Structure formats: C-alpha cells, structure tokens
Amino acid sequence: MTPDETRTAEGILFTDFYQLTMAQLYFRYGMHERDAQFDHFFRSYPDYGTHQAGYCINAGLEWLVEWMQTARFGEDEIAFLRSQTSASGRPLFADDFLDWLKRHGTFDSLNLAAIPEGRVVHPNIPLVTVR
C-alpha cells in the first residue's frame, strides 16, 4: 500500500460514509452535545463452509483502544472530506461540520465498556458499548 492508502486504511477515515453523514446529521441537530450510547456487536457466527462456528472469542480490544488514542482528523483528512461531492456536485460535508471535526474529532471524551479479550461471545450481544 502507498502511504496515503495506509493512512486511509488505518486512520480516522477507516469507516464508511454512512457513519460520517450520520455524524454530520447529529451535529446539524445539536445531538453531538447530548449523551449518546452505541453498541458494537456482530450478527452471526462465521460460516467456514462445511464448518459452522458455534462460538467466537473476543479479540482486538487492545488494538481498538490504541487506534482510538491516535486517530485524529488532521488537515489531510479534512481536505479529503471537503473534496467529496454528491452526484449533483454539491459538497457532502458542510464547512461548519468539518471545522468542528478538526477541533473536536477525537475519541478523548468517550467511555468504553467492553467484554474482556479472550472471552466467549455470541451474536447480537454488545462487545463494546461506547458512551
């Protein structure tokens, strides 16, 4: 991967546009100033063809926390988002939202509650709750 591809694959933009457009909607309606809770979970066990897994082991929490401590919306990320347009050519993200992201777009004020690594986990049960 090129350095730009690596930064996108590992940085704050390692998400989909749905998440970013919903964040903009929360910002637009002032919901970013209220407490909120989101749960991260999986919907079904992995299917390995002839073998259907009957359980999963929770893993990756340490990586998630380390990523959250370093991921930031810097100049390059804001410039990329500013360059994105709809099919009609209109900007996808408003300047005031992008300015807010640049100033406040970190995970520093979030609280995590998570199932410890190495525990057996099941579908539709929150692995991580973000507040």
Domain spans, the chain: 3-130
pTM: 0.76
Q: Check: CB of residue 93 under 8 Å from CB of residue 108.
A: no
Taking alpha carbons only, the member of 36, 45, 27, 48 closest to residue 98 is 27
> DSSP H helical segments within the chain, as ranges?
3-10, 17-28, 61-70, 75-83, 95-104
CATH class belonging to 3-130: alpha beta
- Distance, in Å, from the CA atom of 33 to the CA atom of 42, rounded to the nearest integer, reads 28
Q: Check: CB of residue 55 under 8 Å from CB of residue 122.
A: yes
Query: How do the pLDDT tens digits run along the chain, 131 residues long?
Result: 566 555 556 788 888 889 999 999 999 999 989 998 999 999 988 877 777 777 899 999 999 899 899 999 999 999 999 999 999 999 999 999 999 999 998 899 899 999 999 999 999 999 999 99
